[in-house]
Structure 1
Amino acid sequence: MKNPETAYKRRQQHYARLHNRQDRAANRISKIRLLFSLAGILISGALTGINKDSMAALVLFITLCVFIPLVIYHRRMKVKSRYSEALRKINEEGVLRIKGDWHSFLDKGEDFKNEAHNYEEDLDVFGEVSLFQWINAGKTDLGRKKLGEYLSNPSKELEDIRGRQGAIEELSKQLRWRQRFAAEARLAAEDIFNPEPLFQWLKSPDTIYRKAWVLVLMYILPGLTLVLGWLSFVSQTIPYGFFVAAVGVHLGMLKIGSKERAEIFQTVYRYKNDIGIYIGMITWIEQQEFQNPYLNKIKTQMMNEKKELPSSQIKNFFRVVEVFSQRYNAAFFLINLLLLWDYHGLWMLERWKNDSGTYLHQWLKGIGEIEALASLSIIGFEHPDWTRPEILRGEPVLFAEAMGHPLLAQKCIRNDLKVKRPASVLLITGSNMSGKSTFLRSAGLNLVLAYAGAPVYAKRFQCAVMEIYTCMRVQDDLGQSISSFYAELLRIRKIIEAVKEEKAVFFLLDEIFKGTNSHDRHLGAKTLIRQLIQGKTMGLVSTHDLELGELEQETQGIVRNVHFKEYYEEDQLKFDYKLRPGISTTRNAMYLIKMAGIDIENG
């Protein structure tokens, strides 16, 4: 396999050149179109001036025949140019991710943040410098939501996890397909709308426009009105009043239910551009021959009972929307008045809704799921040295060899980790800034990726299916009048409740009970750890309280001591971020206090 960064750079350069060529071609066509149309108009005008009307008409006809293909060609070239630019941008982002410069990516998943979640806030799943910001390549609303679900609440059925693993591994090898699939969504001029209002319309009951008598009226009345118009204005065999009366009936029918129709048209028309994007994405899914059963299952679920291609059905919807999209033009009022076009538009929409509308949700759901899997597959492509985790049945266990923090891959010291009964709790001690919190997040984030089905940052990784709970970043909530200490108690209570329900729990506790005095903190932490080891639990606890190290002997090794240490070189405090067995024997608080300018000797 080519070096990922090299592959990205070559593709970036290729699409940049292609975009420039297409842009220049589009500009040339635009100029030719303008010059040709002006020349045609001038020549036609000159011919008219010398009474060569037939020649003038012929020139105008030829001008029109050439002008229309030029317009179509120009439009296609602009779309191709935008497509190439989207692909260039996708590869540029790949280079930034590999270099660790992805913090500028705009989509951080802020709308998915949930402070009450078991681990999202502590493990930087969403928000600034987050897992979502790093890996998300999705643009559709359902694609973003599905990735958010994979990272915060994925199915933990073993077969589902393994199915996602296989799907993600296959997609990681399909760079060209993934990028072209993603580029379709980027052709949207603006953000792709949340399709929920469209789904609500599809679930709504049939309106009167599906009634047989309405169908009869909307064909008979316009036909009768046009005949009356012909008889009144052309043959002049009947008074104008008959035609005026017929138009009055049309006007009355258009006023009845006009607000309801306008709302439906507005809802559907709002998604016109999005539907065009979905057609492109579904077409790429249909054309790809997947090998993985999980991907083929998604593909199959997008088909209806007749095994019709989703793209053809969505194209039918697109055509229907195109039919009444002209209702916002000034000339449409007259057409609508004479032909009852609103009724025809609603009838076509309702027919499509009954024939195919019930499947739209599963089409878009399939797009979103593959988009989310494609986002996660980026990890395997960009980091071929990362490993596919082994998900085990049975008792809680976590084993990792050379594990690192996924978001710090460029500058991360890797450590081994083994948490397995009977030693089910690691008590991590060490001085300030030695790496305790980062190590906790490394374990937590790699578990999140493992359950999502993605590769993890380790040489080897085994884990059982467990519920992740954390208590790390806890702050005051002034709005709820909750202190940080009380907020910490609420988080810990959730863990205890999960233990009592006999769930398999993996917990991460960072400096627990730091909001109280040292005596109560020590007693509370000791009691909590003793309670946690009673259930089907395991986890990591970081602390500055070295006295808690006594628990290793008191629990006969169920709690195991490990630590990080610092060292001094040329009077500078340094860290190697390597995990070692045993309790910490060093401290650096006084040194850091001195660095802050506080005079300890004269204090």
Structure 2
Amino acid sequence: MITALEKYKRRNARYNLLLKKQQKGINNISSLRLVIFVLVLVILIETYRLKRFYLFEIVILIATVLFCYLAYLQKNTENRKKYTTALCEINETSIKRLRGDWIHFEDTGEDFIDENHNYSYDLDIFGKGSLFQWINGAYTYIGRQRLKEIFTEKPQNEQNIYDRQSAVKELEQKVYFRQKLELKGKIMLNNKQNPKELFLWSKKISNHILKNGVVWFLRSLSMITTITTLTVLVRIIYYIISALFGINKSAPKIFYLIPYYIPVFLIIIQCIILRIKREDRMETLNMAEKYNDDIKTYKNMLRHIEKHKFKSKYIMNLCKTLYDKDGKSASKQIGDFSGICEVIADRRNMIYPILNSIFMIEYHWIISIEKWKIKYGNNFEGWINTIGELEALCSIAVIKHDNPYWSMPNIVTGPSKIIAKSMGHPLLGENRVCNNLKVEAPYSVMLITGSNMSGKSTFMRTVGINIVLAYAGAPVCADQFCCTIMDFYSCMRVSDNLGQSISSFYAEILKIKNIVKASKEGKQVLFLLDEIFKGTNSRDRHTGAMILVKQLSKTGNLGFVSTHDLELAEMENHRNSKVKNYYFSEYYKKNEIYFDYKLKIGISPTRNAIYLMRLAGIEVKEINGIK
């Protein structure tokens, strides 16, 4: 069986080979253009010297056509080279991810960091060294936003998770589809641009321009102006040619039927009409120009999606929205819109004002845009959301593809529980240490003691990030994993906020307040508490922690609490206690400290603070019998 790493290496080698061929083709075309230019120049000089003027004209015509064709061919090859380069980068990124070099990926999701979120800040879901940085393959604004939502929002129900799991399993096998979709988003020029403005604009319709009388009048007027203007222009051109070549024959009588002043008068009328509500038209045209590249990218991404057949009901239901009742695909519908926007985007030239005054191009563009909005404007946002959903699912599918031995979690109903076999932290790579876990009735709170650096916080983050993956429909870093859907809260990483005059202790209180509130509302709560109330004195810390754990350990909740307060471990012996003690420990070898990061049942028998102080150079003498 070919490993994921080997598969990416083969694909990367193939695309690099194609890249060299394409570069060679571009170089050959450039050389050919130079050779043809020199050859044509020599032929033209020779034909002119021999006074073969008809050959001179034929050579110029052929050379022009040939140069245009070669320019088109070179441009086309350069575009294909750009796509191939992007595919090489995608596969190189995949190789780096598997080798553990993903920490340098550019998109860290830092813009999604929210210190007040229930758990994402504590678990490093976004930011440097985050889950998002590790796996994100979404490049459009909507795709990134959708992946963020999947990682931070509670799933609706078990079926919602299973639907995403089925989609992820199918997309895992479609490496070409995933990479091509990623490619099309990657080359998007404005992929960080929020399309909210575009969505609102696509639904906003200017009905006044679409009234039958207005459309008929504008089209009739521009057609009459065009015909009369062209007729007069032909007459003028005929006069010029006659003067140059000494032709005395007069132009056909049809050209004299229209006086010069008629088109001039009509053009003046049209210029006046073009001033009416010009600002409104400019707003529409500027919007079309602003989002031209985005719309073109969306069209190409939708076309790619429509080319593929899917078996997952979840993806099939997504793709159903891409066709109207007549069977016309979304890519074709957006293609019509993209064609209009592309022409509008090319209007920045000197000749445009002249053409606009004759043909009233602006009005025809506006009419076409407004007609498109009436037909498809309300569907546009849904199409782009489908792209975003598939980008997010493809990102999650990479986890399954690159880690085939990770398990798809089993989501169950009933009392809160988490059961895992050989569970590790997905971001630690080969350095991870896996542990078994079983938290369910009659025990609902795992109290974890242990010395400094023994692995308490990492273990809790391991539980948390695997829960996030499970709820996202992704595989988890475990041989087996089973859990229920719970409202997830954590209080692990708190600090002073000088801007809001909030101390770390008060910030911790605010987080815990949210957990208690959710518990009182009768929700099934999953909570992670790391060294709670560490910002106050030992007596208050112990009393407050014991009361909080007791309150949160009621039926329906499930939690993990790490602490250095060994006295808290006595709660396991209380009557009807739902607390179970676990610990991490260290060992010493040749006067050096080592950690095995293995979870054990019971209370930590070791402490290493004094040892670490001495290691730091602090002269700590024997205190109360402690060495």
Residues 372-395 of structure 1: per-residue CA shift (max 9 Å, x gap): 000000001111110000000111
Q: TM-score, normalised by structure 1?
A: 0.96
Tell me, in whole angstroms, the C-alpha distance in 2 between the residues paired with 1:192 and 1:491.
31
Conservation of the 8 A alpha-carbon contact between 2:446 and 2:582: yes
> In the alignment, what sits opposite 1:395?
415
| Aligned partner of 2:401 among 376, 381, 390 | 381
What is residue 151 of structure 1 aligned with on the other side? 151
2:619 is the counterpart of 1:581:
no
Contact 2:288 2:344 in 1 (8 A): no
Report the counterpart of residue 585 of structure 2 in structure 1.
565
In 1: Cα distance, 2:370 partner to 2:413 partner? 50
Aligned equivalents of 1:326, 1:95: Cα separation in 2: 40
* Deviation of 1:193 (Å): 3.0
Provide the C-alpha distance between the structure 2 equivalents of 1:99 and 1:397, rounded to a whole number of angstroms: 34
Residue 276 of structure 1: aligned partner: 296
In the alignment, the residues of structure 2 paired with residue 343 and residue 34 of structure 1 have an alpha-carbon distance, to the nearest angstrom, of: 44
1:534 to 554, 558, 565: 554
Q: How is 1:284-303 mapped onto 2 (pairs within 5 angstroms)?
A: 284-303=304-323
1:98-109 to 2 correspondence within 5 Å? 98-109=98-109
Q: Secondary structure at the match of 2:438?
A: strand
Aligned to 1:226: 226
Q: CA deviation at 1:439?
A: 0.2
Please name the residue that 1:342 is paired with: 362
Q: CA shift at 1:225, angstroms?
A: 2.3
Tell me which residue corresponds to 2:242.
none
- Which sits farther off after the overlay, 187-196 or 493-502? 187-196
- Residues 124 and 131, structure 2, Cα contact 8 Å, conserved in 1: yes
- Displacement of 1:111 in angstroms is 1.8
Name the stretch that deviates more: 245-254 or 81-90.
245-254
1:181-205 per-residue CA deviation (whole Å, 9 max, x = no partner) reads 2112223345353222211111113
Q: For structure 2, which runs of at least 5 residues remain unmatched after alignment?
A: 236-254
User: Which residue identity does 1:4 align to in structure 2?
Assistant: A
> Compared with structure 1, are the counterparts of its residues 230 and 512 closer, same or farther at alpha carbon in structure 2 (3 Å cutoff)?
closer
Q: Is the contact between residue 41 and residue 60 of structure 1 (CA under 8 Å) also seen in structure 2?
A: no
Deviates more, 1:291-300 or 1:508-517: 291-300
Quick one: distance in 1 between partners of 2:487 and 2:212? 56
Please, which of 478, 499, 508 is the counterpart of residue 488 of structure 1?
508
Q: Which residue identity lines up with residue 550 of structure 1 in the other structure?
A: E
Q: Cα–Cα, structure 1 residues 44 and 219, in superposed 2: closer, same or farther, change >3 Å?
A: farther
User: Who is 1:500 aligned against?
Assistant: 520
* Kept after mapping to 1: 8 A contact 2:409/2:475: yes
Q: Which amino acid aligns with 2:456?
A: K
Which residue does the alignment assign to 1:194? 194
Instruction: Report the Cα distance in structure 2 between the residues aligned to 1:259 and 1:38, rounded to whole angstroms.
Output: 51
Per the TM alignment, residue 45 of structure 1 is displaced from its structure 2 partner at its CA by: 5.5
List per-residue Cα deviations over 1:107-165 (Å, max 9, x = no partner).
11122222221001001011111110000001111111111111001533111110000
Q: State whether residues 205 and 374 of structure 2, in contact with CA within 8 Å, keep that contact through their aligned partners in structure 1.
A: no
1:427 pairs with one of 434, 447, 450:
447
Does structure 1 conserve the Cα–Cα contact (< 8 Å) formed by 2:154 and 2:487?
no
| CA deviation vs aligned residue, 1:54-110 (integer Å, no higher than 9, x gap) | 212211221222223222222221121111111111111111111111011111112
Q: How many angstroms apart in 2 are the aligned matches of 1:311 and 1:318?
A: 10
Question: Aligned residues, how many?
Answer: 603
2:342 maps to a residue whose letter is E
Cα deviation code 1:506-535 (max 9, x no counterpart): 100000000000000000000000100124
CA contact (8 A) 2:439 2:445 kept: yes
Aligned-partner SS, 1:328:
coil
Residue 448 of structure 2 corresponds to residue 440 of structure 1: no
Q: How does 1:506-545 map to 2 (within 5 A)?
A: 506-545=526-565
Identical positions, percent? 40
Question: What's the secondary structure of 2:499's corresponding residue?
Answer: coil
Distance 1:555 1:100, change over 3 A: farther
Aligned-CA RMSD value: 1.8
Shift of 1:276: 2.5
Q: Summarize deviations over 1:491-519 as a string: whole Å, max 9, x none.
A: 00000000001101110000000000000
Aligned residue for 1:333?
353
CA shift, 1:38, in A, is 5.4
SS at match of 1:356: helix
- TM-score of the superposed pair, with normalisation by structure 2: 0.93
Answer yes or no: is the 8 Å Cα contact 1:231–1:237 preserved in 2. Answer: no
Cα separation, 2, equivalents of 1:367 and 1:345 = 27
Change (3 A) 1:40 1:213: farther
Aligned to 1:540, the other structure's residue is in SS state: strand
CA distance in 2, matches of 1:177, 1:232: 56
Please say which structure displays the higher CA radius of gyration.
2
The 5 Å alignment of 1:546-561 reads: 546-561=566-581
Q: How far, CA to CA, are the matches of 1:440 and 1:84 in structure 2?
A: 42
Counterpart Cα distance in 1 of 2:33 and 2:192: 32
